[in-house]
Amino acid sequence: MDRRKLLKAATLASAAAGLVACKESKESSRNNLSPCDQTTQADIEWKMVTAWPKNFPGLGTGAQFLADAITQMSGGRLTVKVFGSGELVPAFEVFDAVSAGTAQMGHSAAYYWKGKLPEAQYFGAVPFGMNANEMNAWLYHGGGLELWEKAYRPFGLKPLPVGQSGVQMGGWFNKEINSKEDIKGLVMRIPGMGGEVLSRAGGTPQALPGAELFTALQTGTIDATEWVGPYNDLAFGLYQAAQFYYYPGWHEPTACLEAMINQQAFDALPEDLQSIVEFAAMAANQNMLAEFNANNQRALNALVDEHQVELRQFPDEVLQEFKKYSADVILELSQQSKLSNEIYQSYKSFADQTQSWLKVSELAYLQAR
């Protein structure tokens, strides 16, 4: 741990000790107002708006995990109530709602905000970019989180990573993809940089919230959609609307999900509660990746064996086409602003470094195994 994290850990330990002392004070004092009573009088309630259906596997449950962790770790001094997409605000209005203070916290994916903050896409998913472990390393120990905070600061928001999907699937298609020609004219739900890459390859990207995917695919409004992976896709029943399930998820080697916090609301918290929010977010970040890894293969088995989904790998020709355009899209994004270039340089430098290490560690081990 660096010094800042060590201090936060000490603060968190102090808060826990305070809760014990508080309990003892209640037991020993009947007539006088104890410190615990004072804390109870200052209980704080937050709203969390999300881009997902409430309690949807992985994403919705990840938001609830974070809310419960904050509530429990604070001893109820800070309680967080979760609202699914559409309950308080629509999925694509989470950013504005938290920025305006309508809710104190949001749970979403950064690439949804490309229209108002193009730089945010680096913190959501980069085609052919870093995987979940690499992203966490960059964010926590490579300066990535500081750059994310810098990007969101003008909007009065504090971002925190709260979940990694791991490598996603390439998506659901109502026709086979045998060559790059099959991409031309394809209407596909795909957000962020991946959508721009698809456009340059001849397709038509659509931005749709998760709750609308099944109907859009089933009615033919779109020809294909990506979502996350087997665990989520099985829950949405996408196998009932498309036959072909392609991999790998070139567009999202991981989706880094975010908690965005209204900065004024965060600053108003006492220091120990601020630390609790940050450490709860770290726990949620790790827990979501574990949840996806624990459930994806089971769900994939069900899709293939029970629902007769046709699992296909993208042809090399198609992947190379996407990779070529991805390099162009990422480079052009880096040239849009000074901040975008700063983020790009940090991201690329860290990715180059970790890629060299992965070749002699993870990749070499998997090949040996």
Which of 197, 241, 191, 189 has its CA nearest to residue 215? 241
Residue 204 has pLDDT above 60, yes or no: yes
| CATH superfamily of the 39-164+255-293 domain | Bacterial extracellular solute-binding protein, family 7 (3.40.190.170)
In percent, how much of the chain has pLDDT > 70?
Answer: 89
How confident is the model at residue 289, as a pLDDT? 97
How confident is the model at residue 2, as a pLDDT? 54
Mean pLDDT of the chain: 91
Sequence-separated (6 or more) residues with CB below 8 Å from residue 20: none
Name the pLDDT band for 31 (thresholds 50, 70, 90): very low
How confident is the model at residue 42, as a pLDDT? 63
pTM over 0.85: yes
Which of 219, 15, 194, 192 has its CA nearest to residue 108? 192
Residue 312 forms beta bridges with which residues? Answer: 246
* Strand ranges for 213-298 from DSSP E: 224-225, 244-247, 256-262
Between these two residues, 17 and 159, which has the higher pLDDT value? 159
**Tokens at residue 114, please?**
């490309």
Name the pLDDT band for 7 (thresholds 50, 70, 90): very low
Largest CA distance in the chain: 80
Region 137-144: mean pLDDT is 98
> Is the distance from CB of 185 to CB of 204 less than 8 angstroms?
yes
How confident is the model at residue 41, as a pLDDT? 45
Residue 312 has pLDDT above 60, yes or no: yes
How confident is the model at residue 104, as a pLDDT? 98
Residue 237 has pLDDT above 50, yes or no: yes
How confident is the model at residue 213, as a pLDDT? 95
Residue 169 has pLDDT above 50, yes or no: yes
Region 209-225: mean pLDDT is 95
Region 202-214: mean pLDDT is 94
Every domain of the chain and the residues it spans: 1-38, 39-164+255-293
How many CA atoms within 13 Å lie on the side-chain side of 353? 11
Region 106-131: mean pLDDT is 97
